[in-house]
């Protein structure tokens, strides 16, 4: 098995334990892994219905132990389910060693065990050296020749297949509450280990489906019973075969005992080596602990020394920091005092500059007020002169209009000529009035500029504007008086001639164009 493990180290390997229900497969699995992982016969309800597996280390190699349900059961549905579980195990771990567990009654193998094994062997044709048998649950106190009788009946039942006695081991029944239980379990594990080591792991190939139905089982059981009865009737042949099997089993037992002694010797040697190795490791561990203790002590001393040095440096740094902080505070206070003195000097200087600027501003304001008063007096004088000229011109126009009216009263024949001449005169007068209007507009513009100049002194400008407004009112009243007279005259002469109406209209437009802008200028200023 060791060679197989070395040749296929990368493949998953295992031990598949087969047998019918009640043969003790779960108990043998627990013996192999060294702990109770599977439900066994010690548990009253222990019946395996699904495939279970656990990993165990055997002879330096990790193997998976598969505990599989028994093949033969009460009905076809359970048998079908058991077939599926067996096929699942072989697909999960095709590289395996097969252990088939036999049960027995009165030194004879069970018919169902033989039927199940033949069906499995027909489906997988287990390779040589990858199949071993365990006769389980033997009574420690059994009749002489019991084992030999079992082997003979099994050999007859398995014919034509033959298997050497080295493929079989016998495991006695172990009581759970017996004081010798642990020792017997240890012996059973050693026996199973010896059987496994003497065989090899091989690839298990499925050559066909497991062919077994419940209706065929009874027929096969009857045929098997006939073979057993025929064998038992021939006592001489049975005795001869039993003697031969006894010799074989005795030889097998001697070989097994030798192998067990060899394994025990190897185990003792390994245990001694292990103990020496443990002692050596223990001594090394103590040396390491001592060395680590000393190193730890030295490190603690160095650490304490470094901590003390760091504390000293920290204290020195703290003192230096306090000193630097004190110096910095003193320097800062001196700078603050110097800045306060500079600030006071700047404030005094700014105050003096402000007073000087205030005086200059006041002088400039007084000067501007004087200039504004002069400009305002000049503007008022210009307005008076302009108003006088305007009134004089209005009077002239009124006189001309009166003269025109008197002429129209003389004769009807001369009205047309006189009207034409009057129209020419009116046109010239209109031109004269337009020129006067232009003069008034220029005067008004001058007044506006003067008013803008005087805007800085609000009180003086307001009083002058009131005076100008009064003058404008006087001019407006004169204009209104002349307008009313013109309207009466026009109403009188409208029936006489259309030329007079035209002249009056031109005269009125000229008066309005002169008077209204002048009034606006005065009020706005």
Can you tell me the distance from the alpha carbon of 27 to that of 10, in angstroms, rounded to the nearest whole number?
A: 29
Q: What is the pLDDT of residue 232?
A: 61
Identify the residue with better confidence: 459 or 243.
243
Q: Taking Cα atoms as reference points, which of 393, 382, 394, 389 lies closest to residue 444? A: 382
Please say whether the dihedral angle defined by the alpha carbons of residues 28, 32, 36 and 38, taken in this order, is positive or negative.
negative
Indicate if the pLDDT at residue 434 is higher than 50: no
Q: How far apart are CA 219 and CA 188, in angstroms?
A: 36
- Residue 8: the pLDDT is 44
Q: Are the C-beta atoms of residues 494 and 501 closer than 8 Å to each other?
A: yes
CB 63 within 8 A of CB 56: yes
246: Cβ–Cβ under 8 A, 6 or more apart, which residues? 145, 148
What is the pLDDT, as a whole number, of residue 474? 40
- In order of 66, 129, 131, 201, 274, the CA distances from 4 in angstroms are 19, 11, 14, 6, 26
Check if the beta carbon of residue 452 is closer than 8 Å to that of residue 364. no
In angstroms, what CA-CA distances link 293 with 297, 298, 300?
6, 9, 10
Give the separation between CA 80 and CA 358, rounded to whole angstroms: 122
The per-residue pLDDT of the chain, averaged, comes to 76
CA distances in angstroms from 359 to 355, 363, 377, listed in the order given: 6, 6, 27
pLDDT for position 470:
40
**What are phi and psi for residue 521, nearest 5 degrees?**
-60, -40
pLDDT for residue 86 is more than 90: yes
pLDDT of residue 241: 67
- Tell me the chain's radius of gyration from C-alpha atoms: 72
Tell me, what's the pLDDT at 274? 84
pLDDT band at 242 (very low <50, low <70, confident <90, very high): low
Given a contact cutoff of 8 angstroms between Cβ atoms, the answer to whether 133 and 163 are in contact is yes
DSSP string, 22-55: TS-HHHHHHHHHTS--S--TTSTT----S-EEEE
Q: Which domains, from first to last, does the chain contain?
A: 2-233 (3.40.50.300), 362-524 (no CATH)
How many Cα atoms occupy the beta-carbon half-sphere of 506 within 13 Å?
Answer: 20
Least confident range from 35-39, 162-166, 271-275, 509-513: namely 509-513
Q: Which of 132-141, 303-312, 455-464 has the lowest mean pLDDT?
A: 455-464
pLDDT exceeds cutoff 60 at 143:
yes
**Cβ contact 82:71 at 8 Å:** yes
Q: Where does the pLDDT of residue 337 fall: very low under 50, low under 70, confident under 90, or very high at 90 and above?
A: very high
**Which residues, including other chains, have CB under 8 Å from residue 73's CB and lie 6 or more apart?**
21, 79, 82
Q: In this structure, are strands 13-18 and 95-102 parallel, antiparallel, or unpaired?
A: parallel
Q: What is the DSSP letter of 270?
A: H
Helix, strand, or coil here: 239?
helix
Asked if 472 and 384 touch (Cβ cutoff 8 Å), the reply is no
DSSP annotation of 74 reads S
User: What is the C-alpha to C-alpha distance for residues 67 and 29, in angstroms, rounded to an integer?
Assistant: 7
pLDDT greater at residue 211 or residue 60: 211
Between CA 87 and CA 90 the distance in angstroms is 5
Q: How many helices (H) and strands (E) does the chain have?
A: 11, 9
- How far apart CA 210 and CA 124 sit, in angstroms, is 9
Summarize pLDDT for 24-80 with one digit per residue, the tens: 898 899 888 877 776 654 443 344 556 678 888 877 788 899 988 888 887 888 889
Distance (Å, whole) CA 20 – CA 495? 156
Output the six-digit token pair for 146. 């019991």
Question: Which structure tokens are listed for 238?
Answer: 């049975």
| % of the chain exceeding 70 in pLDDT | 69
For Cα atoms 61, 64, 68, give the angle at the middle one, nearest 5 degrees. Answer: 150
What's the mean pLDDT in 112-119?
Answer: 91
CA 88, CA 203: separation in Å to the nearest integer?
15
Burial code of 270-289, b = ≥16 C-beta within 10 A, e = fewer? eeeeeeeeeeeeeeeeeeee
Pairing of strands 108-109, 104-105: antiparallel
The answer to which of 60-64, 85-89, 207-211, 443-447 has the lowest mean pLDDT is 443-447
Cβ proximity of 397 and 434 under 8 Å: no
């Amino acid at each position: 098995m060791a060679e197989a493990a070395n040749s296929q180290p990368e493949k998953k390997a295992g031990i598949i334990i087969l047998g019918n229900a009640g043969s003790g497969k779960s108990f043998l699995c627990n013996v192999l892994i060294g702990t109770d992982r599977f439900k066994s016969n010690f548990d009253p309800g222990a019946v395996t219905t699904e495939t279970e597996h656990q990993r165990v280390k055997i002879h330096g190699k990790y193997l998976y132990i598969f505990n599989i349900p028994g093949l033969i059961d009460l009905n076809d549905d359970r048998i079908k389910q058991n077939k599926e579980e067996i096929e699942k195990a072989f697909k999960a771990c095709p590289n395996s060693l097969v252990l088939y567990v036999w049960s027995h009654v009165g030194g004879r193998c069970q018919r169902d065990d033989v039927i199940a094994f033949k069906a499995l062997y027909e489906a997988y044709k287990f390779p040589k050296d990858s199949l071993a048998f365990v006769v389980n649950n033997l009574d420690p106190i059994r009749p002489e020749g019991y084992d030999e009788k079992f082997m003979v009946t099994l050999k007859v039942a398995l014919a034509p297949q033959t298997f050497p006695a080295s493929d079989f081991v016998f495991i006695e029944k172990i009581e759970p509450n017996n004081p010798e239980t642990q020792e017997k379990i240890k012996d059973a594990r050693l026996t199973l280990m010896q059987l496994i080591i003497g065989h090899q792991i091989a690839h298990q190939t499925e050559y066909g489906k497991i062919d077994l139905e419940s209706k065929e089982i009874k027929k096969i059981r009857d045929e098997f019973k006939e073979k057993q009865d025929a064998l038992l009737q021939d006592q001489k042949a049975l005795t001869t075969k039993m003697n031969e099997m006894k010799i074989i089993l005795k030889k097998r037992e001697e070989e097994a005992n030798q192998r067990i002694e060899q394994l025990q010797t190897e185990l003792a040697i390994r245990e001694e080596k292990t103990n020496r190795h443990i002692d050596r490791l223990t001594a090394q561990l103590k040396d390491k602990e001592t060395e680590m203790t000393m190193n730890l002590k030295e490190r603690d001393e160095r650490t304490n020394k470094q901590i003390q040095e760091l504390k000293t440096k920290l204290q020195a740094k703290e003192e230096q920091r306090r000193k630097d902080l004190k110096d910095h505070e003193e320097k800062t206070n001196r700078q603050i005092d110097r800045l306060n003195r500079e600030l006071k000097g700047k404030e005094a200087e700014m105050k003096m500059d402000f007073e000087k600027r205030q005086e200059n501003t006041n002088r400039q304001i007084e000067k501007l007020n004087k200039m504004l008063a002069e400009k305002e007096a000049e503007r008022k004088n210009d307005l008076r002169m302009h108003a006088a000229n305007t009134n004089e011109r209005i009077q002239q126009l009124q006189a001309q209009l009166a003269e025109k009216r008197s002429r129209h009263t003389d004769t009807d024949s001369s009205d047309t000529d006189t009207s034409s001449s009057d129209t020419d005169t009116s046109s010239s007068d209109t031109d004269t009035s337009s020129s006067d209007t232009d003069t008034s507009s220029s005067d008004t513009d001058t007044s506006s500029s003067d008013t803008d100049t005087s805007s800085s002194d609000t009180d003086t400008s307001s009083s002058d504007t009131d005076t100008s407004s009064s003058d404008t009112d006087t001019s407006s009243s004169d204009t209104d008086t002349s307008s009313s007279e013109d309207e009466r005259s026009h109403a009188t002469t409208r029936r006489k001639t259309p030329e007079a109406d035209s002249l009056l209209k031109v005269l009125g437009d000229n008066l309005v164009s002169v008077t209204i802008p002048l009034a606006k200028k005065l009020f706005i200023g």
